[in-house]
Structures are given as C-alpha cells and as structure tokens.
Structure 1
Amino acid sequence: MTPTTAPVPSRSVRMPTAASLAASAAAVDGGVLSRADLAAWLEDRRRAQAQRVERIPFAELDGWSFDDLTGDLRHRSGRFFSVHGLRVSSDFGPVPTWEQPIINQPEIGILGIALRDFDGIPHLLMQAKSEPGNVNGVQLSPTVQATKSNYMRVHGGSEVPYLDRFRRPELGSVVADVLQSEQGSWFLRKRNRNMIIAVGADVEAGEDFAWLTLGQVNALLREENLVNMDARTVLSCMPDWQAQARAVEAVHSDADIRSWITRRRAEHEVRVTAIGLSKTGGWNMGDTEVSHERGQHFSIVAVDVASARREVRAWSQPLLKPHGTGLTALFVRRWRGVPHVLLRARAEPGFVSVVELGPTLQCTPENYAHLPAGLQPAYLDEVLARRAGAVYDVKLSEEGGRFLHAQNHYVVIEVDDDLPLVSDEFRWVSLRQVDELLRYDHHLNVQARTLIAAWRSL
C-alpha cells in the first residue's frame, strides 16, 4: 500500500559520528563479544555450517543447461545468472581484441551491514556464512548478502533475515547507500547495492550473526580468507573516521580528479558484443569445464552443494574457477603529511561506466608470462621488489557464490616521493578524496575497495 503521508524519521536509532566510529575502531577487545568469545563463535559456526562441495559434469547440473542454439549456460527459471560468450575490443591493456566467457547477472543485489549503538560504541552486525566457492567454508559476511533472485525466493528457499531493514530503511537511518560494481573482467555490468543502516535496540543477533566493533572486524581483516569480499566492499563505504584523512591538502584538487576520471571515460573505448558461448574463440567446451586453450585465465565448472545452514539445503550450479592467484597492490605515500593512494583508471569489459579506478597493480602474473617484458603490467616489478616491506599483505577470497577458490594477495606498500608516474592512467588521490568518491556509484572497483578497507584497518 502506498503511504498517504511522508514517513517520520526514526527516533530509535543513533547515527554514528566520526568520534564514535573512531572509538569503535579502537575497540579491539570487549564490546558485545570479547576476543575469546568471538573466536569461539566463529569456530562454532564453522562446525555448524559444514558444507559439501563436489565438482560434477555439466550434464549432472540440476536446472541448468546449455542452450541448443548459442551454447549459453542458463537456469531453467531464466533468473539467477547465465554464462555466455563476449567479444571485446579495447584500447586498454596489451591485447586489443579477444573473446571470453562472462557471467551475466543483470539484477541488482543487496549487500548491507546493520550498525547499532552499544554504550556509545557502534557495532556491526556480521554474519558467519558459508559459500560453495570459499576455500575454507565459513567467512565473515555482511548482515544481508542476497541477489534479487535470492530475496524474491526464486529458489523456493527460506526468507533472508533482516532483509526488510535494507529494502525499506527507516528515514534518517541510512549511513551509506551506493551502487557498486563487481569484477569487470568476470561479470557483465554486475552491480550491488552497498548499504550501511543504523538500527535500534529491537534488532538482535540471530544464531549465525554477531555484533562486532569496527576494531574487531579490522583485526579479522588481517587474517587470511576470513572477511569475505561482500563485507569488504561494504566496509569501504563506511564514512572515513580518521581525522588525518580530513585534511584539505591534496596533490590534485577535487575538480582535477573528477575531470581526469571523466576524460579517461570519454577517451577509453571498450566495445563488447554478446556471442554464443559455443562460438567463443580460443575456448574449449568439455564435459566438465569450459576452458581457455592455453590453460590461462579461468574455467567455467559445475559443482554440487549440500549445506545445512543455507536458504536451500542442496543445489547445483556453475562457478568460475580462476587459474592462479592474483596480485593486487596499492602504493601509499604522504604528501605534506596527508596519505595518498596511487590509483589507476582501468577499462574493463564488464564495467557500466567503461572506466573505474583500480589499485596501483591488479593482475594474475601467470596470465602475462607469455608476453614480452614491455607488455608486463605497470609497477609489477616495483611491487615485487618492495613487497617484503609491505604494511599489509594478506591472501583474501573473492565472491564465493560465483567463483570457486578465487584468491588474491592484497598488498599495501608505503613508498617515498620519488616514485614516478608511468602514464596518465595513474593519479595520486588523497584518502579524503577517496572517501568522497566512494559516496557515488561506480568510481572505485571492487579490488580497490578491498584495499581501501585494508588500509583503514591499519
């Protein structure tokens, strides 16, 4: 029913301030759960959410099939996602044209974290969630992590807890609400609604959920494969609580940074054409995988899943399985005492806006092994040479609902002022400017957002 009067702002929630977020970031032990309680809760959830994932032939997929005409892999409902072929021409990177499979999931999902005040300290409602593609089963996830097909219950499963808090947030409770992309090389124009919502005392933690301080989440972010990709991207949208990042000084003005992004979007050209998966050049379609002829990049595989703690207890689905572990790095320097990060304007075939800002380095080195030295990724040698002194170097998983054992080494390296820019695709951007860009859609890619969350955790 359409309301006949304007909604009234909620009086039951307390919105976070920079000071309260700083206090939450400093609270690494205590709060609702002590450090020992948190470790025990995670271990208990791992035991409770034991999950079986087995590779199967495509012919054994339930509800999924290859289209007779195109070879595209689709679900019989027409929902969830599909895998089809893509022909790409691009002026970004060493290869101007190629063809590849890509995941097409046009619906917009919700990734949301609820924020509640406990004795003046904001706590985040985090979920222990197992995904079929996770390397280790349970990882720390947002309060809500659901595609539209999931929360519309196309699969016939149970309801998503806390969903209505995010679909219909109370007036005055929204801390962040922005559309953000996912991997532009693996997803075609995939977007999710990244949300942080302040809630009141009526919201309690369910069995698979726990209230954690920002400091506790940041500490877990330094552990391998524990905080999942969806949690990291939402965390990056949290307002910056670090006073030092609020300084007005920056290498480039805000107007210059916006103009640079707009120019890169106007000048880069990426053309994509949907083609049948069976017609995708350079890729072989087998009984158990769709794979690149050189064994590089990734494969499309099928899995059968059984889980006691998901909305659906058993299902099968395709997953994208990367070949090799990625290396994703961010250079950080101080200019007049203000932290800046070196970002690259990247053009990827799946981006809605052609270009988004990525980290300093984003690659899987094995995929470039066959290319000459002049075509290796910019700053790869510098990252490898300086990695031993990194202030952050943690292996983290990518989205376990669509990718099988996808991992990147995420690295943050502090550098001196003498690092030259290799091209106009790079800019030093202050953390205050990053914070501002994260308020708007499609400016930083998912890898850069993870590294911003990692840098803030330090």
Structure 2
Amino acid sequence: MPARTDDLGRGARARLADGLAVSALTTASDQTPEAGRWLDEERRRPFTSALVPLEELADPGGWRFTPGSGNLAHRSGRFFTVEGMHVTTDRGPVREWWQPVLVQRDIAILGVIAKEFDGVLHFLLQAKMEPGNADMVQLSPTVQATPSNYGRVHRGRRSHYVEYFTGAARGRVLVDVLQSEQGAWFHLKRNRNVVVEVFEDVPVHDGFRWLTLGQIGRLLRRRNVINMDARTVLGCLLGAAGAGWPPGTPSSGGAADRPYALHSMTDVLSWLTVRKCEDRMTARLVPLGSLRGWRRTGGRIAPSEGAGDFSIVGARVRAPTREVTGWEQPLLAPHGQALAALVLRRIDGIQHALVRAEAMPGYRDTVELGPTVRFMPHAHADAPPERRPPFLDYVLGARERARYDVVLSEEGGRFWRAETRYLVLEADDDFPVRVPPDFAWVTIEQLRALQRHSYQLGIEARTLLFCLAVP
C-alpha cells in the first residue's frame, strides 16, 4: 500500500470539510505570500514549444509511423500512440465516423501532497511547463506523471515526490480514485487522482510551492493558471468531504439523498445506469493509415474536408526545468475554443444543476455525466434549430447571468493550446424543470457523491464542480 488510509466516515468527512473550509477562507499564507507573482516569475523561464511537421519527430525524437498500420508511436513502445478509431452509435445526427485517437494504456499518477501549517491545510503544487499549455507554465499537482515518465523511459532526471504515492506509507490518504479524461480524444484513458496528507517535513524543490485552497481559488479566476490535472484532483478531494462541503451554503448541510432533492440518489443512479445501458456506441481501434476522411498533409494529420474538430500536429520542446530538457512529440490540436456550461436552478428552494448523460467513444463505461452544454462553437454555427444541442441557444444568450466565467486549458502534455470556456449560469424560475431523457436535475451533493466513484463524472463536469465550490 502506498499510504495508510482511514475510513472517511461521517465524522472524518466532517473534519475534512472543516479543514478544507479553513483552507478555502485563507487567501494569504507565509508559505507562499505572493502566489501570483511566483507563477509570473516561473513563466519567465526560457521555455519554448513550437510546431514542427510530424515527419521531423523521428530524429531525434524517436516517433515514427509504424509500417503497415501507419500508427504514430515512440520507438520505446511506451508513452502513448496515435491510432485510428471507428465509431458507430444509434443516437444523434451522425451515426458513424472515423477519427484519430490518443491511446495511453499507462495509468498516470495525479497526486497532491497536503500538509497543515499553523492549523491551515496547504497543498504542494508545481509550476509545470507542458508543451501544449497556453501561457506555457501552469500550476499542476505535486506529481503529474505516467509510469513511462517516473520509470525514466526518457532517461531523464527522476520525478520529484513520486515516492509519496508509490512506495511505503508516507501519510494519510484523503482521496484515491480512478477518473477518465476527454472521451472524445482519448481511448479508455484513466488517471489515478490521489491526495496524501503528510505530517513530516517535506523538502520544497525548485518550481514547487505550498498554497492554501483560498489562494488556489483566487488563481482559478485567472485564465489558464490552474491546470486540468490539479482541478480534477482537488475536485475529487472536495467530493470526499461529502455533503458538508461547502459549509454554510443553502445546498449543503445534509445527506446526498435528502427528501427535498428533486430526485433521490437511488433515482439518479438508476437513470444513469439506464443511460449507460441504452446508449449503444461501439468504438474499435483501427490502423491510423486506413482512416476515412483524414489525410497526412502539410506535416500534420487533418480532416480531408478541411473542417473537423482537431488535427494531429508535431511539437519541438525545450524546457530546462523538466526531467528531460528537450524532446519532440505529437499533440492533438483542437480547431477552436470549446464551451462547457452548467446551468443551475433552484427547485423548491434547493440549488440543482442540469447535467447530461454523455456517450463518448473513449469512455470505459460509454456514458459519464457532462455539463448542460459542451460543444465546439463552429460545430453548430449553421445548424438548423432542430439539430442544435438542447439549451445551447439559452446558454449563448444568458452570459449576463454568469456566476463563473473563465477560460481554462486542457491537458498540455497531449493537447496543443486546448482551451475551454467554463461557464456556470444561474437560471431563473422560468427555466423548465421537465427536460429531455438524457438530462437530469441533480443537487450539488449528489454530484459530489458521484465524484467519489470512478467513471461517473466527465472531466468537464468535474472542473465545473470544482470552480463552483471554491470561493
């Protein structure tokens, strides 16, 4: 076992919630007095990442198009591959398509070390450079690495702090759960989201700092600062605190299955199970070189018609603080900024969120809960009303009711400049309670209860839930 874990029963969850509440209200700390200034200084380091043709990744990068299949793979056989995927479904306007997909079978560690200083819980975050990051450097978990990375397949320096999550017991596990990533771009990808509270002194290496949840919350209001992996890990930690988080809000203070929620927890689970059974989608890997509607052109893999949601590109990276100071790799490059919006509404005085059961070809269990609306803006620009996603027009026209509105990056280690506008809207009492079958109104407690388990909430829903919780 990597660390000892105490059963987080009701009392332990209450204590965790109290500790998180104190941390969330603490927006200044002697450990890192000027968190924003520290990040700005880290961003002035001489990092570079530039797009290059895929053909230039072979030497010295070690990436090549495999003879026969045409899959893009590293000569070590590790890291990840770019392969093809053939998808069929019985729902939606498009019932069949082909696309490239990222295949990473390693389970990455997304680990955060937590420790109390003067009675306030702090979290050790890293100012991490990733080749696809917007603004290059963002705040990441203490450890954000696959076995290929911390096993030093790249023959670089050893990753800091991995021993807190892989070796003998070093602390108390607060949360430890497997979660998915983007089901449209990854095939069966999952990461270990884990937070370990330690009671010993921890050396602080260059590029790392202790931050309170309040400091993190303030930085979460800035564009492209808290990276995707930090958001999902800390979001899972808040979920582990149970219904007691956040304290003092109208939507907290009771069990997830309270009688005045619109639907009981049993009903929510039954609805989600039915969606997972009825949404028939098959996704099989096929050779990248055989994909219909895609071609290698201009040093990238792109849709033949020039539209589509993304391309596969190459990048050359120089990063003096990383375990390897220079390398080449492929990345998935989205065609534009995405939007993920969550609509909130009070029903019988209790705040509910409108979520959608989303079927994605890369999910291990086909369906996970997504936000009310998740789309690429160009995808439905010219679509007639009957083919536009439900509630899309409401979201696009209700920005003045925004409770949270900020652009955040997705995973910069695999995506090139992938940005999503995360939006939380407060709907008025005229917004419908009756919704289509693949939508449901659930309370915040119910969402957090689901987040304690694997493959229930997609990455966008987990991010929005975290943004909603932190002051």
TM superposition score normalised by structure 1? 0.94
Matches within 5 A, 1:262-411: 262-294=273-305, 295-411=307-423
- Partner residue in 1 for 2:9: none
Matches within 5 A, 1:128-207: 128-168=127-167, 170=169, 173-207=172-206
Task: Check the 8 A contact 2:126/2:139 in 1, yes or no.
Answer: yes
Tell me the amino acid that sits aligned with residue 94 of structure 2. V
Q: Does 1:57 align with 2:53?
A: yes
- 1:250: how far off? 1.4
Distance in 1 separating the partners of 2:69 and 2:219: 44
Q: Does 1:431 align with 2:430?
A: no
Distance in 1 separating the partners of 2:168 and 2:335: 40
Task: Check the 8 A contact 1:52/1:306 in 2, yes or no.
Answer: yes
Q: Structure 1 pair 306/442, CA: closer, same or farther in 2 (3 Å)? A: same
- 1:153: how far off? 1.0
Distance in 2 separating the partners of 1:205 and 1:374: 55
Correspondence for 2:41 among 25, 41, 44 = 44
Tell me the amino acid that sits aligned with residue 346 of structure 2. R
Tell me the amino acid that sits aligned with residue 282 of structure 2. R
Tell me the amino acid that sits aligned with residue 353 of structure 1. D
Distance in 2 separating the partners of 1:397 and 1:138: 11
Task: Check the 8 A contact 1:65/1:74 in 2, yes or no.
Answer: yes
Tell me the amino acid that sits aligned with residue 275 of structure 2. R
Correspondence for 1:246 among 244, 253, 266 = 253
- 1:445: how far off? 0.3
Task: Check the 8 A contact 2:4/2:172 in 1, yes or no.
Answer: no
- Partner residue in 1 for 2:462: 449
- 1:112: how far off? 1.0
Of stretches 289-298 and 183-192 in structure 1, the one that deviates more from structure 2 is 289-298
Distance in 1 separating the partners of 2:325 and 2:94: 43
Q: Structure 1 pair 235/271, CA: closer, same or farther in 2 (3 Å)? A: same
Report the secondary structure of 1:20's partner residue.
helix
Matches within 5 A, 1:193-232: 193-232=192-231
Q: Could you report, residue by residue, the CA deviation over 1:15-73 in whole angstroms, capped at 9, with x for unpaired residues?
A: 96221211110111234222xx222311221123x211121122211201111211111
- 1:287: how far off? 4.4
Report the secondary structure of 1:416's partner residue.
coil
Tell me the amino acid that sits aligned with residue 316 of structure 2. D
Task: Check the 8 A contact 1:230/1:399 in 2, yes or no.
Answer: yes
- Partner residue in 2 for 1:261: 272
Q: Any unmatched runs of 5+ in structure 1? A: none
Task: Check the 8 A contact 1:329/1:410 in 2, yes or no.
Answer: yes
Task: Check the 8 A contact 1:226/1:396 in 2, yes or no.
Answer: yes
Report the secondary structure of 1:260's partner residue.
helix
Q: Could you report, residue by residue, the CA deviation over 1:349-402 in whole angstroms, capped at 9, with x for unpaired residues?
A: 000001000001000020223533211122110001111220111011100000
Q: Any unmatched runs of 5+ in structure 2? A: 7-11
- 1:8: how far off? 10
Tell me the amino acid that sits aligned with residue 63 of structure 2. W
- 1:337: how far off? 3.5
Tell me the amino acid that sits aligned with residue 220 of structure 1. L
**CA RMSD, 1 decimal:** 2.0
Distance in 2 separating the partners of 1:17 and 1:141: 22
Task: Check the 8 A contact 1:92/1:346 in 2, yes or no.
Answer: no
- Partner residue in 2 for 1:122: 121
Report the secondary structure of 1:274's partner residue.
strand
Q: Does 1:30 align with 2:29?
A: yes
Task: Check the 8 A contact 2:399/2:425 in 1, yes or no.
Answer: yes
Report the secondary structure of 1:238's partner residue.
helix
Report the secondary structure of 1:188's partner residue.
coil
- 1:93: how far off? 3.0
Distance in 2 separating the partners of 1:359 and 1:228: 19
Runs of 4+ in 1 over 4 A off after TM superposition: 6-9
Matched pairs, number: 448
TM superposition score normalised by structure 2? 0.91
- Partner residue in 1 for 2:97: 98
Q: Structure 1 pair 198/7, CA: closer, same or farther in 2 (3 Å)? A: closer
Task: Check the 8 A contact 1:63/1:75 in 2, yes or no.
Answer: yes
- 1:171: how far off? 7.7
Q: Does 1:83 align with 2:87?
A: no
Task: Check the 8 A contact 1:278/1:285 in 2, yes or no.
Answer: no
- Partner residue in 1 for 2:66: 67
Tell me the amino acid that sits aligned with residue 211 of structure 1. W
Distance in 1 separating the partners of 2:64 and 2:366: 31
Tell me the amino acid that sits aligned with residue 340 of structure 2. T
Task: Check the 8 A contact 1:31/1:212 in 2, yes or no.
Answer: no
Q: Could you report, residue by residue, the CA deviation over 1:154-190 in whole angstroms, capped at 9, with x for unpaired residues?
A: 1111111111111246387011100000000000000
Q: Could you report, residue by residue, the CA deviation over 1:142-162 in whole angstroms, capped at 9, with x for unpaired residues?
A: 111001211111111111111
